[in-house]
Amino acid sequence: MAHAPTSTASEKYYVPHGSPWPIVGSVALFTTVGGAAMWLNHVHAGPWILTLGLGLLTVMFVGWFGVVIRESEGRLYNEAVDRSFRMGMMWFIFSEVMFFAGFFGALLYARQFSVPWLGGEGTKLMTKVIRGDNFEPAWPTNGPGDIGGDFTVIPAFGLPAINTLILLTSGVTITIAHHALRAGNRRLLNIFLALTFLLGFLFVYLQATEYVEAYTHHNLKLSTGIYGSTFFPLTAFHGFHVTIGALMLTVIWFRCLKGHFTPTQHFAFEGVAWYWHFVDVVWLGLFIFVYWL
Amino acid sequence: MARLLILACLLAIVLSLGSALVHFVRDKGESQKMVRALTIRVSLSVLLFALLMLAWWLGWIEPHVR
């Protein structure tokens, strides 16, 4: 949430001292995961401990963001710090790419290899003979044994297509906001940035609606064989990323309203804008591979 | 053919996004290159969606059904 250095920036590489936020963050994460584990194990206090953890996490984010923003506005960051921020962002993105590569890889492996093998394709004829259940591979499937019972998929032209249009539109609005920031048009920047995060939250809301539809009308659940167990993690983790992106855009919007950033110094804006484009592209891949190809 | 076009378009989108990341790290907000690459990325994405709809309308591809 920082921004790049100016001529008045510090000569020294700024290192914060005595920050309470790392330990607060650790305690918050421990409490959150502990609460979730207790809940899953039917411990009565589980949901309360989870709520406490999430509350602590929120306090940590607000506090830590505030500190970094004040440091940035106080011109404590020089060029070396800026370089560190950009390298940090790059490695963070690399980890995100690997994260989604794992999920897309699982989907493609199941579709292209393991499901056809179970049906005896290629050199796996004996697999089919030994299994003896006459399983005919086709995608979408919940595999041999019809795990999770009969199900139907969510039609591509329903909510998925609407959500694709919403995210594409938000990609256009963030780009207009980016151009406006560089041109020094603050009014346009504020309007289009607000539109971007509002579209993001709308996407998340519609995604939740889609899940309710899947569970209630399509019998499509996380437990619906290989299709359910690839569909939900992929779309849910993407939805989680959209939520994080929309929250970060909201923070950036408030900063823009306060007059932060200049046409050439806006690292935080650039980082969040790029992240937003990234989640948009992941969704495009998801829309194509999950619903079409 | 339609599938190849769609995949090629998706690849071009990923490349333009990657190019924007390179400019984000190297240019440090001082050039227009990052925002230009992102503009190309968005334009290609809109094109891809249109291509998908066109391919479906012409009967070249069908969404998954079950």
What pTM was computed for the model? 0.89
Report d(CA A199, CA A195) in Å as an integer. Answer: 6
Closest CA to B29 of A107, A263, A11, A250: A263
Distance in angstroms (rounded) separating the CA atoms of residues A197 and A243: 9
Are residues B29 and A179, on separate chains, in Cβ contact within 8 Å? no
Per-residue pLDDT band at A130 (split at 50, 70, 90):
confident
Q: pLDDT per residue over A198-235, tens digit each? A: 999 999 999 999 999 999 999 999 999 999 999 999 99
ipTM, 2 dp:
0.94
Instruction: Write out the DSSP string of B4-29.
Output: HHHHHHHHHHHHHHHHHHHHHHHHTT
Provide mean pLDDT across the span A241-258.
96
Cβ pairs bridging A and B (under 8 Å): 99
pLDDT of residue A168 exceeding 80: yes
pLDDT on residue A4: 53
The answer to whether residue B10 neighbours chain A at the CB level (below 8 Å) is yes
Chain B touched by A289 (CB under 8 Å): no
- Quick: pLDDT tens for B25-65: 988 777 889 999 999 999 999 999 999 999 889 988 888 87
What pLDDT sits at residue A243? 96
Flag if A284 and B13 touch (Cβ within 8 Å).
Answer: yes
User: Chain A 115-144, CB below 8 Å of chain B: which residues?
Assistant: 139-141
Nearest to A172 among B29, B30, B42 (CB): B42
